Structure 1
Amino acid sequence: MHRRRRLLGRAMLLALTLLALPAAAQGKKPPASAYVPAPADQIPGYSAKAMPCEINQELIPPRVTCEGDLLEDKSLRELAILRNTIFARYGWSGFRKAWLLEHFQKQPWFKPNPNFSYKLLSDADRKNVHFIAVREQSFTERELRLMQDTLYARAGKVFNDVYEWELKDGTKVRSCEEPKQPLTEEGCTGSQCEGTESRDCQFRQEKWYRPDPKFSEDKLSAEARIELGLISRALGSFASDTGKLEKGSQASLDRILSVQELRQLSLRDLRLLRNTLYARRGRPFKSKILQAHFKAMSWYHEDAAYTDARLTENDKRNIALIRSVEDEFGGPLKDEDWLIDPATDAA
């Protein structure tokens, strides 16, 4: 009887000892601790509540308006950071754009979450992502070109497009203002006189403008180069966010793109870029998002008679490359995903 009691006591002691051991020591995997996002008030630009915004779907492209102009004066780069801050708050760290990843890694509140899920976002988060994404897509061609020119002007670029005037005696004068001397019937003879504003004359009115005859792209800041890459792709050309800026607008898509370049883009970027190649040849689109985007571009001329036979060999090669990268990262976005951002491609 005493022996039986001793054995029973040892068994109970062993059981208590095992219970006191950490789960790992018992050969069991410890439960994953729940990810706790940083407090909303510690994250610049983040709103825990749905922003007071409305979307006008009747405009082309659709336009979002917010109380207090919350989104109105922000650049494409700033909007991208603002939108992706919502994902980063919950630990998303899979940004393919190096500059975005670097930005969030520098934030004191940011901590990667290996178990990140899009389901972590609140209803207010989802609404705000949608508002910001609509704003990113709402810039007109005129607005984008002004943004582009302003970035160059801030770095001192001279555009050499001052108006040219022909005087009565045949002398030609370059000036932003009409000369007081008598003019010929043609008067202003430069191409800018036919409705296009002179960028040189426009920026000379800004106190911050310092024309630099020795301007080069090397004088552009890293932030400006990122913004110019975003603008270039929105306008229907190609430029990476950090690489060399290519001359010309659509001419940049005449070369063969590299997989390395394409892997730095988000699924939204890739879909727009792939369809830009079709749009350049006049292809009509069923997608409302693509229709709204391309119809806002002066270079797009929809042609009901379009066929893929219009595509060049380079077009076909680039389309295949872009599609392969899309497939590599989960497949092309659909309209329903475009303004929501699946968790695997928040950039």
Structure 2
Amino acid sequence: MKKRLIISLIFVLTLGANLFAQGDDLNVERNQGWKQFSRKNFDKIDFTKKKITKAQLGKLNNDGAVDELALLRGVVFGKRGRVFKERSIQDYLETQTWYKPKANFTNAVLTRIERDNLDLIRLTEAVKHSNVQPGDLRLWQTAEIPDDKLYVNSPSDWRVMIAEVEAVHGKRFDDEPWLQKYFEERYWYNANANYTPTILNEFERKNLEKLNAKRNEDRKVAIAVGDMDKFQNVLLTEDLLKGLTMNDLRFIRNEFWARRGRKFVTPGFRAIFEWQDWYKPLKDQTKVKLNPTEEQNVKLIEREEAKLREKISTEPITNEMVDGLFVEDLRVLRNEIYAKHGRVFKDPNLQKYFAAQAWYQPNPEFKDDMLTETESKNLAIIKEVEENSISKFAEVEG
């Protein structure tokens, strides 16, 4: 487990460095792709009155630097002023003179013909996807999903896809506010107070079984890094955070800031977000602010992090609990066990850090034999992980 996480982090760091080095080339390809797509003049079509055809969609390219189907979907919505979280779409729209973003956009403004056009685009996208993704389940209402189209997904994506089978028929998810809000933002969703599972056909039931079975193969947590867009206006709960490691909690906490445009200085943090489609650091960092819901979510995560840190002195820990943390974090975590007993540190940086903690009471008489058996075992685990961890300041060279 430990080696796998270390290898994964090295991969992320390498990926981040490679993407940075290749950024200019990718931008050139993307801009050329945008120009080619713009020449097809889809922005000249009145999608409220005219239907697009399968033949038109068949001529679009989604194998290069630009996914033209996604851009067309962006144009249909963009004509109404929708602002996208998908940066690959939003960045394109912002280059178009006709695009006028509207913060108050809602799907209610869409006409029947616009919805038909979007249906055709989305279902065509679903056909082309190599694996089933959120938004694709309408395609599979009359067919069983092949096993080779069910890949590993994030916990929230699994939850969305499983729920989507029934959301297509209007099921409400009032006991999961974030999920209900997610579907209310889909143009095709119509809540049905009279929904019952009895209306599901045999294919939908079989697909539900397959989705649940695939998710449960590796189900450990309810949410993961990359899921926080669903909680920017919906509160997290302690139950949703169950099973997350210190590393998981730290990354999802920083994800809220990343989604608001924070620029991360240390390479270790930067590499986690810079390859994400939605990540776009603001030039003016003074404008990076969280909304009240995000602030509450960050505080909840911080409290959960504090609980895990407290356990290090009172309960046995596992390698998995601290795997993935940077070497600097592990060093502080290891010394925190000593600090709880008042140890005075020779390292001025460590001493300054712990002296700033409200709970720290220096004890010049501290000796190692004051540690409990649990603390000694936890120290050994942290030290072992620390010896194989990566610095947050590590840059990939080559």
Shorter-chain TM-score range: 0.3 to 0.5
Whichever of the two has the greater Rg, that structure is 1
Relative to the length of structure 1, the TM-score reads 0.35
Higher relative strand content: 1
TM-score, scaled to structure 2: 0.32
**Structure with the largest fraction of helix:** 2
